[in-house]
């Protein structure tokens, strides 16, 4: 698998990463540990060197899993984690007080069985703590050798600029896919101007763009998508045209729908590195295969045009989480 550099930072990662949240959090019961470790090892075998976790993904359990799985490969991989929620619980709201950041970092270092965090994100901007203070705290941690790079997640343009002036931001992680293209308006031009890499999460629309979900799908009771307006039965039915279109494009290209969605993202900019997540090895292998699907400029333009003609129905977050995004 080829490598990419996140912005001007010099941080080199595989052109496709692995989002590990779903292994313990968000999409129903946690994956069996043996199976989860095997999946992560398979990712390394496929050439993936960029792994994403967070304190908020089961209050450290996800980091513990990743630390255990990646210990044999630690010097060959890049691990990103995040701070920023009260007690590590998203529903309790943001908390980026300097003392909290330092405490989370100490926990993460222990959980991940490492001496340094390669990329440390602020999970959400905290309206009660100036972002300059957050950046300054991470800058101190970088100087102490506990962190290598600073990132932000779902931050707005002004917050990114303010933070970057204190400590250069290596990467922004936010949702971006064929069915959520809001970042194209202000975020992408700002990142290009400042030399910041972009790490799209949910690049497959939380599974919708793979074609594996339809209006009849029933999610596990603990699945986050039960609370997402875009995944209501009515909206899934209304958005089915997107999946049908993706299937048509994929068939013409002799590829899987997920591979087209990921290839489209990687074709946007050379400093974009998607991090699709999965709990199944056959999906992991399929996703990795997207790096071999090369879209021409004309094909990208045709996909853009086709998708722009189908308006997406439903918000991407429940109200309480929508309020935390883009600040």
Question: 169-222 pLDDT, tens per residue?
Answer: 999 999 999 888 899 999 999 999 999 999 999 898 877 787 777 667 777 777
Amino acid 221: pLDDT: 78
Compute the average pLDDT of residues 235-262: 87
Amino acid 118: pLDDT: 98
Q: H/E element holding 173?
A: strand 169-175
CA angle 57, 52, 3 (to 5 degrees): 170
Cβ distance 233 to 51 under 8 Å? no
Secondary structure class of 270 (helix, strand, coil): coil
Is residue 323 predicted with pLDDT exceeding 70? no
Amino acid 1: pLDDT: 95
d(CA 263, CA 292): 8
Name the band, by pLDDT with cuts 50, 70 and 90, for residue 138.
very high
Q: Is 184 left (phi over 0), alpha (psi -120 to 50) or beta?
A: alpha
Amino acid 326: pLDDT: 60
What percentage of the chain exceeds 90 in pLDDT? 74
Amino acid 29: pLDDT: 83
Name the band, by pLDDT with cuts 50, 70 and 90, for residue 265.
very high
pLDDT in tens, 51-98: 999 999 999 999 999 999 999 999 999 999 999 999 999 999 999 999
Is residue 48 predicted with pLDDT exceeding 70? yes
d(CA 46, CA 288): 7
In the residue annotation, 317 being an active-site residue is answered as: no
Cβ distance 293 to 255 under 8 Å? yes
Tokens of 89: 């619980």
H runs (alpha helix) in 46-175: 61-70, 98-111, 131-143, 157-166
d(CA 114, CA 293): 35
Is residue 167 predicted with pLDDT exceeding 60? yes
Catalytic pick among 27, 57, 111, 176: 57
Tokens of 137: 């705290």
Name the band, by pLDDT with cuts 50, 70 and 90, for residue 282.
very high
Q: Pick the range with the lowest mean pLDDT from 62-71, 253-262, 276-285, 309-318.
A: 309-318
d(CA 207, CA 267): 20
Q: Which residue has the tokens 């203070």?
A: 133
Amino acid 322: pLDDT: 56
Amino acid 324: pLDDT: 62
Domain boundaries, given as residue ranges, for the chain: 3-322
The model carries a pTM of: 0.92
Amino acid 317: pLDDT: 57
Amino acid 162: pLDDT: 98
Cβ distance 304 to 232 under 8 Å? no
The residue among 320 and 201 whose pLDDT is bigger is: 201
d(CA 168, CA 269): 20
d(CA 57, CA 168): 26
Strand 3-5 and strand 12-14: the pairing is: antiparallel
Cβ distance 140 to 150 under 8 Å? no
CATH class of 3-322: alpha beta
């Amino acid at each position: 698998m080829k490598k990419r550099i996140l912005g001007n930072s010099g941080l080199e990662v595989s052109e496709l990463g692995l989002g590990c949240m779903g292994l313990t959090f968000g999409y129903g019961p946690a994956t069996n540990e043996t199976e989860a470790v095997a999946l992560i090892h398979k990712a390394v075998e496929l050439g993936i060197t960029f792994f994403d976790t967070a304190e908020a993904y089961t209050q450290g359990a996800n980091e513990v899993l990743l630390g255990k799985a990646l210990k044999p490969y630690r010097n060959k991989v890049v691990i990103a984690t995040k701070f920023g929620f009260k007690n590590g619980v998203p529903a309790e709201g943001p908390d980026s007080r300097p003392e909290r950041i330092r405490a989370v970092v100490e926990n993460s270092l222990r959980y991940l069985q490492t001496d340094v965090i390669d990329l440390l994100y602020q999970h959400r901007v905290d309206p009660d703590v100036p972002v300059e203070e957050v950046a300054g705290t991470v800058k101190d941690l970088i100087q102490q050798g506990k962190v290598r790079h600073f990132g932000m997640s779902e931050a707005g343009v002004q917050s990114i600029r303010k933070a970057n002036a204190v400590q250069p931001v290596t990467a922004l992680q936010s949702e971006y896919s064929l069915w959520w293209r809001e970042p194209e308006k202000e975020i992408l031009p700002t990142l290009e101007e400042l030399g910041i890499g972009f790490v799209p999460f949910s690049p497959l629309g939380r599974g919708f763009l793979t074609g594996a979900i339809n209006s009849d799908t029933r999610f596990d009771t603990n699945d986050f998508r039960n609370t997402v307006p875009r995944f209501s039965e009515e909206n899934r039915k209304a958005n089915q045209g997107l999946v049908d279109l993706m299937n048509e494009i994929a068939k013409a290209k002799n590829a899987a729908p997920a591979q087209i969605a990921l290839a489209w993202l990687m074709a946007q900019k050379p400093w974009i590195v998607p991090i699709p997540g999965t709990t199944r090895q056959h999906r992991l292998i399929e996703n990795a295969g997207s790096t071999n699907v090369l879209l021409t400029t004309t094909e990208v333009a045709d996909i853009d045009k086709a998708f722009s003609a189908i308006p997406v129905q439903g918000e991407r977050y429940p109200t309480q989480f929508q309020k935390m995004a883009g600040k």
